[in-house]
């Protein structure tokens, strides 16, 4: 059973701070990793994808991947109240096109 684990939160950070979201996965052969943001009652919206070990930056967002530790993270710099949402980590396993999602981490940015 392929698993993706996230802390459910809520994670509360003050406006302007860095929010750090973490995710671990069980399938060592996984090749593709994604972070989605989901506002309450809405569908998931892609934030970032990462495929290689290391960091990938896009604006205020940085994704970090460590395949040896089976760990992927998302950093949000200069957090804004509009970043308050549930963040879903999704992993594509070896030889498969489906995504396995974690339960998500609820982020609350306090003004």
Partner 1 sequence: DTGVSQDPRHKITKRGQNVTFRCDPISEHNRLYWYRQTLGQGPEFLTYFQNEAQLEKSRLLSDRFSAERPKGSFSTLEIQRTEQGDSAMYLCASSLAGLGFTDTQYFGPGTRLTVL
Residues that bind partner 1 (CB under 8 A): 4, 31-32, 34, 36, 42-46, 49, 51, 88, 90, 92, 96-104
Contact 14, 98 (CB under 8 A): no
Please classify residue 32 by burial: count the beta carbons closer than 10 Å to its beta carbon, then call 0-12 exposed, 13-18 middle and 19+ buried. middle
Q: Whose Cβ is closer to partner 1: residue 67's or residue 103's?
A: 103
Rounded to whole angstroms, the Cα distance separating 13 from 25 reads 25
We find the least distance from the C-beta atom of residue 78 to partner 1, in angstroms, to be 25
- Our CB check for partner 1 shows the closer of 19 and 50 to be 50
Minimum Å gap between C-beta 44 and partner 1 is 5
């Amino acid at each position: 059973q392929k698993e993706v684990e996230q802390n459910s939160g809520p994670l509360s950070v003050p406006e302007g701070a860095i929010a750090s979201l973490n995710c671990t996965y069980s399938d060592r052969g996984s090749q593709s990793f994604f972070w989605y943001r989901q506002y309450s009652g809405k569908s998931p919206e892609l934030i970032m994808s990462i495929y290689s070990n290391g960091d990938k930056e896009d604006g205020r967002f940085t994704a970090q991947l460590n395949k040896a530790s089976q760990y992927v993270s998302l950093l949000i710099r200069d957090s804004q109240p509009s970043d308050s949402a549930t963040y879903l980590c999704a992993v594509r396993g070896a030889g498969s096109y489906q995504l396995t999602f974690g339960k998500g981490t609820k982020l609350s940015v306090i003004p």
